[in-house]
A and B are shown apart, each in its own frame.
Chain A
Amino acid sequence: MAETDAGSAPAGIVTPLLRSEGVSLSFGGLRALDDVSFSVYPGELVALIGPNGAGKTSMFNCISGVYRPQQGAVLFEETDLIGMRPSRIAAAGVARTFQNLALFENLDVVDNLMLGRHTLMRTGLLAGAVWLGRARREEILHRRRCAELVDFLGLGGYVGRPVGLLPYGVQKRVEIGRALAAEPRLLLLDEPVAGMSSAEADEAGGLLSGIRAEMGLTMLLVEHRMHLVLEVADRAVAMNFGAVIASGGPESVSNHPAVVEAYLGAAGSGAAS
């Protein structure tokens, strides 16, 4: 594992924003993650690739606190996230999207984005119920930020309707927006273009580049479509059967024999590119 992780940092001395160290996770007898180590440095966009069932989403779940790995550490700015409640991890500055949409379907776009800002706000029960002074100012301030985000994501035409009724591609964008609204320091994107047509996927790729250019955000991306990875990622980490099999520049990782074999071995299921 050590050799795959070594020497891939963009700048030698910078401490990583996120460091996974020997993370292992199993369900009953099934080993979902096996000694996974990799790092993400500030400002980077790292892609996590691999065939279906390679453990990419399980890794995301370990970072965001949904799963609790039996071994290893997930260090976010040197704080171990393992064992923290998901809501604490979110408050620490990690936001994510989900492979299968997980929006609050009965709420509208703005409310979903406002929920992204939940950890940035303070209004409590009593203040919310009384709705005076600080609570009111806070609400208005944060709504303004969300309105900016609505414009940035081009969601202006969809405001005011329950998001569950919006088209799939729009919902995907709302979900990215909800994660961005949290103003995270690390953004985890789980297959942001899954289920999209290639035109939509290109558009989403443009959105990702736009987000980087605009916000300079550090991102970890799970993605199947290799051409998107090649286009946007600084580095790639390839996984198969729960273990890291290669890491480095996206080009070299995608041509790595083990990676090629992993995709072919999986009947080429995800390798379409």
Chain B
Amino acid sequence: MRGLLRRLLPSPDPTRPARPGGASANPLLPSAGAKIMAAAGAAGVAVCPLVLDDPFWITVLANAGTFAVAALGLSLLTGFCGQVSLGHAAFLTVGGYLAAFFGAGWGWPLPAWLAAAAAAGAVIGALVGPFALRLRGNYLVVVTLALIFVVTHVARNWEGFTGGFDGISTNKAPLALGGLDFADMSAFGQRLSREQGLFYLSWILVGISALGVRNLVRTRPGRAMQAIRDRDSAAEVIGVSNARYKIAAFAVSAAMASAAGAVYAVGLRFITPNEPLAELFLSIRFVAIIIVGGMGTVYGAILGALLLGPLPELVKEFVSYLDVTLPGLGRPLVSEVAAAEPLFSTAAFSELLFGLLLVLALLFQPQGIAGAVRSLRVRWAGRASRRPGAG
């Protein structure tokens, strides 16, 4: 856990001043410090499931990884391109069913079912694009809400593909990449469990997506998206086609969510259709993740997923601390025992926490954790530069 956290903190600040006058000061090349931290983080990820000898927590962290991939997608769309989406959960669902159909059903290899999920997500995501062009801000949110209804409806009713209400198994989806089988890995002469393998798979995907998004937002296409976020009409006038880049942002973000959903569903071994309401709440959860983590940064999305993604499991794990009988009410605050008539079930309590965290973050720390880290760094840098001058 510590290693993972450390890995995420030191990514160079995109607003860091470049030395004026020269491409040699290209901020695109990572500093030595960032390289060291990235290496330390990778080592942390590599060691974590070996040291952490608890399948439950390994699964929780693996799921946090898949959440991070999806959150990176939403961060690209909302944080960098300025488009709000409530349909993000729908793309995870799409990816899950594609993994079941092509992976478990047809036995496609890992790269193939993962690519199929991402491609389907990209296509459906791109369908939102035309609306993104014609509608501004608020209207679009409701169109993305429509995605939830359509996808849950299809998931329940297209029985040949999704298994209808009964759901469908994803268990047989192959997890081998060439000679490396994530379902049956071994390290240091020790056979690893499927959970440990899935942890590696999902965090490798986090690494790839983080690198990809980071490169993207620092080069031409990502700059174009940020221009649209800051001022879409001016962006169009200087030559940035709003059509192309809004559609691209939706497609890429949906592809990442679908790929994440595919791995998540395979981890769960089974997928059943969600209620639309649950799907909406899941989408809001991703919004909370990127806001709390810090919009417009890559590591913020990962940090948010790592902290908020496992929230339901954390609440369940530490429910004993919350299972306190409230004076005057005679009911416990949170309990898993329904007969105790708790105010909140563990699931409801984590939902409440997501809502509260989202509201509080927007009110008091709109830049999220990444913003807090940035202002701390600025303060430290200011102090460091003042010190020699003061002497």
Measured CB to CB, the residues of A under 8 A from B are 64-66, 85-87, 90-91, 95-96, 98, 102-108, 110-111, 114-116, 118-119, 121-125, 127-131, 135-136, 138-141, 143-144, 147, 150-151, 156-157, 159-162, 178-179, 182
Contact = CB atoms under 8 A, between A and B. Distances in A.
Nearest to A165: B15
Given A147-B23, A150-B20, A160-B18, A118 B219 contact: no
A107 B234 contact: no
5 contacts: A66-B233, A87-B240, A105-B231, A115-B235, A147-B21
A150 B235 contact: no
A125 B236 CA distance: 18
Nearest to A155: B20
A159 B18 contact: yes
A129 B215 contact: yes
A140 to B, nearest CB: 5
Interface stretch (B170-178, B221-229, B382-390): B221-229
B86 interface: no
B239 interface: yes
A28 to B, nearest CB: 21
Contacts of B212: 129-130
B201 to A, nearest CB: 20
Contacts of B28: 131, 136, 139
A160 B16 contact: yes
A147 B23 CA distance: 7
Given A106-B226, A140-B23, A143-B26, A178 B238 contact: yes
Given A98-B234, A121-B220, A130 B215 contact: yes
Interface string B181-220: 0000000000000000000000000000000110110011
A123 B221 contact: yes
B242 interface: yes
Contact of B227 (A65, A107, A144): A107
Contact of B236 (A86, A98, A147): A86
A18 B206 CA distance: 51
Given A86-B237, A119-B239, 9 more contacts: A87-B240, A87-B242, A91-B239, A108-B15, A123-B219, A128-B215, A140-B23, A141-B23, A150-B20
Contacts of B328: none
Q: Is the interface of B mostly helix, strand, loop or mixed?
A: helix
Most buried by A among B15, B18, B213, B237: B237
Contacts, number: 135
A107 B216 contact: no
B241 A114 contact: no
Contacts of A119: 239
B296 interface: yes
B236 A128 contact: no
A160 B240 CA distance: 22
Contacts of B219: 123, 127-128, 131, 135, 139
A225 to B, nearest CB: 24
Nearest to B82: A106
A173 to B, nearest CB: 15
A128 B241 contact: no
Contacts of B239: 86-87, 90-91, 118-119, 182
B21 A107 contact: no
A183 to B, nearest CB: 11
Contacts of A85: 236, 241, 243
B294 to A, nearest CB: 13
B252 interface: yes
A259 B249 CA distance: 50
A87 B241 contact: yes
A254 B234 CA distance: 32
